[in-house]
Amino acid sequence: MSTIVETARVELQNFLRTSDGMRCPEWGRCEWAAGGGWCLESSKVYVERLLSILMSTPEEFASIGPVTGCRALQLVESVAESLLETAGVQHAPVSSLIAKYADEHCPVEVRVLPLMRRRGAVWRLKDAWVIQLRAADLFYVRRFILFHEIFHVLVDDYSCLPCRRVINAPVSFNEVLADLFASYALVPTDLLERHWQGAGFSHLLARLFDVPDQVVCIRLRQVGLAL
């Protein structure tokens, strides 16, 4: 793996290490948020809800703002971009095989299983990472979960695994960050700009990138292409 991924990874790992995973490490001292910038920590419940339900309308994403000054998202975007660069991604859809570049020291195995109670999980075994995905999920939902789990591999985060989505439980900042990493990596800015037809959200875009509709909605907002 090129050092570009390692550098971005280590920077993100160090940033996240100063928090327990439930809150943004910058919480309470972020100048971007204090100045009214869009804040993932304050919006995490909203983002989690938007991404975890299957039917959201594009209008529901109207509160997603540009994220240029959010340190957490800058780092996540940088890791996503360096991973895409290392894998040589140039076309949509982004290949799921990118998982193999997530850790240069340890192979990543992906297994599709008849999971009953969760959509995905990641385990760190002695000699491999194992990502489990639910066979019953739609292909593009499974891809989203896969990329979410790749985030955990990248940041070497297996302390709170498997990922749990318990109703009414407090929303974990790192879990939402993993979702946003998946969004960045599955719908890279340059490919989104290349394929955007100038008409806001379209199901065709979601099918082109092989992702749930919500992922395109959130990325259009972040990039400033939503109408």
Is residue 121 at the binding interface for Zn ion, with CB under 5 A as the rule? no
**Is 177 an interacting residue with respect to Zn ion (CB under 5 A)?**
no
Nearer to Zn ion, 32 or 123 (CB): 123
Judged by CB under 5 A, the stretch of 3-11, 76-84, 168-176, 199-207 that binds Zn ion is 168-176
Residue 154 binds Zn ion, judged by CB under 5 A: no
CB of 196 to Zn ion, least distance (A): 29
Report the distance separating Cα 121 and Cα 115, nearest Å. Answer: 10
Instruction: Give the residue with the Cβ less far from Zn ion, 163 or 192.
Output: 163
Cβ-based nearer residue to Zn ion, 165 or 194: 165
CB nearer to Zn ion: give 157 or 213: 157
Pairing mode, strands 120-124 and 129-134: antiparallel
Q: Which of 150, 163, 192, 205 binds Zn ion (CB under 5 A)?
A: 163
Residue found by looking up tokens 């995490």 in the block: 44
How many residues belong to the site for Zn ion (CB under 5 A)? 3
Q: Which is nearer to Zn ion, 93 or 162 (CB)?
A: 162
The CB-of-177 to Zn ion minimum distance in angstroms stands at 9
Cite the DSSP H helix spans in 99-172. 139-154
Ramachandran class of 91: left when φ > 0, alpha when ψ lies in -120 to 50, beta otherwise = beta
Indicate which single residue of 178, 185, 191, 218 sits in contact with Zn ion (rule: CB under 5 A).
Answer: 178
Radius of gyration of the chain (CA): 16
**How many beta carbons lie within 10 A of that of residue 126, not counting itself?**
5
Name the minimum Å distance from CB 19 to Zn ion.
15
Q: Which of 194, 11, 185, 153 minimizes the C-alpha distance to 81?
A: 185
Rounded to a whole number of angstroms, the minimum distance from the CB of residue 178 to Zn ion is 5
Using left for φ > 0, alpha for ψ between -120 and 50, and beta otherwise, residue 74 falls in: alpha
Nearest-5° Cα angle at 80, 74 to 84: 140
Site residues for Zn ion per CB under 5 A:
163, 175, 178
